[in-house]
A and B are shown apart, each in its own frame.
Chain A
């Protein structure tokens, strides 16, 4: 029923820029970000701390704290509507029902004064036209779905372990059957064994509910586990995006290659990992041209002058780097 144009496309973020205007200057948290997502598809948003992943997520939810934060340009088209254009009241209807979010730390993302069942029921009550009784019933159903016995549904968050709480978080996020789920490092705060369980659960439920997902992580292992597509973020923009297999097999951007080189490989007996030299640039003071050029092994003189454009090196594989831009243009005969 959605607009014909957007058939096959659930979310289309184009040229999104989010800046924070603080006393010391302007923080360029997100700069010209482009992401597209089809229904049911999962994209991994990978990047270092400070790459703007969480800001992007909050931007989609329109929860960037303002002031000082502001979306300075761009569009977030979701089901054919630009989320940046609609009213706050309409946005509230989208939050939790159409787009929902799983938070990083399950220890703090649940309200300690409300039993878990009621926290799930709250979302249902907010968005669905049901009685309180029905909402509670739905909440218990959701709890069973994420593997928590109904008998524990009246307990408070502090009576659950971290992994169990994240399950509650997942139940809250999926209670209204959202079209898009944003997971902000949902497993970072969990033990490795629990991580695997939670990821498995998310994978199953994603299929069951046919939910598209943006998986924010800095862990390429999680990407390999759960995502269909990957977008590598650096200094507030996507530098490379591709299908998961394509990206793991054939990384193009020097930053992506650097990321893979800094992972230990169990099959090679490496003495040293190869880190990417230097640090993420200060988002208040981004370098001119390609933001990665000061750390890039293959930087060319013009890298500090020209901001690279998106170059499609293979079907669905887009890189933002002058190395490929030149080649690509040559092929095209420009």
Chain B
């Protein structure tokens, strides 16, 4: 008897189709999303291994090492991305800059989500006065442009990357609150919520276990796109001098430093940091798109687009070719 049970449990993992597996299966069907994911993984590796790729000594000689003998050199075998005004290696700075951008992206998303989701969920679930109070507060946040808010916070707390994260993070709250509220409004009317109530679940449990998981798809997509927006906003703030301060190797700040030299023909000072910003934003957006399709088990968003239909046709044709070759 025990053996029988044992063998049964042994079989299970094979048969199990996990939720993650399902999502991954759909996600990997989208080549652009995979490109985005690969780029983001590379970006993460770059950030994690920044000290290995561009160590403090040796060829790249540290991202903050100034060398007056190599001012404004164009890219070469020794300095892949060239050197800047005060002889710092641009490649090292770009590599180390990924740490800051990713950190900004994550902290902003975390601020936005941890504040925005509960606010949106409470507003949507309880409606009434609570909803009004919360959403008017959100409206106030929305009424202040993020840049203005950041300027105000920078003025109050002083410029710096931490304050930029706080400012952009606060600016990100309304998107999540609104997205979640709209979702909650729709989801809470569904029968399974009433079923959960009929099963004796309390409000907290209903929100956490039954409503929020069904609201997450747009939030995850929003987070992936929002991270791109946050990185852009932080770079923008650094560009106008409110964010990362010298000598922090922030991409936006590097753009600002190099922009005057660009007119003098030193294109490498702005091209590489600019390219990195563009690349990470592109990657996050592509991944966000892919996630949106993958997270939707019923393909609610758009159903069969021409593109997807073609993709499936191509996949089928490829599969046929493969099997043909196999024979």
A contacts, CB < 8 Å to B: 61, 63, 92-97, 100-101, 103-105, 108-114, 122-123, 126-127, 150-151, 154-156, 158-159, 169, 172
Contacts and interface: CB of A to CB of B under 8 A. Distances in A.
Interface string B1-40: 0000000100110011101000000000000000000000
Interface size, B (range): 20 to 34
B132 interface: no
A96 B195 CA distance: 9
B195 A127 contact: no
B191 interface: yes
The secondary-structure label for the interface of chain B is: helix
A154 B12 contact: yes
A127 B297 CA distance: 31
27 contacts: A63-B197, A92-B200, A92-B201, A95-B197, A96-B200, A100-B198, A100-B199, A103-B191, A103-B198, A108-B191, A109-B195, A110-B195, A111-B195, A111-B209, A112-B192, A112-B214, A113-B19, A114-B209, A122-B201, A122-B209, A123-B200, A127-B200, A150-B8, A151-B12, A154-B17, A156-B19, A156-B297
A95 B200 contact: yes
A78 B23 CA distance: 46
Interface in B186-219: 190-192, 194-202, 205, 209-210, 213-214
B122 to A, nearest CB: 18
A95 B198 contact: yes
Contacts of A151: 11-12, 15
A108 B194 CA distance: 10
Contacts of B307: none
B11 to A, nearest CB: 7
B214 A113 contact: yes
B298 interface: yes
Interface of B: 8, 11-12, 15-17, 19, 190-192, 194-202, 205, 209-210, 213-214, 297-298
Instruction: Indicate the member of B199, B201, B297, B298 with the most A CB atoms within 10 Å.
Output: B199
B183 to A, nearest CB: 12
B303 to A, nearest CB: 15
A69 B154 CA distance: 51
A111 B214 contact: yes
Contacts of A155: 17
Contact of B198 (A101, A122, A156, A159): A101
A101 B196 CA distance: 10
A158 B300 CA distance: 13
A94 to B, nearest CB: 7
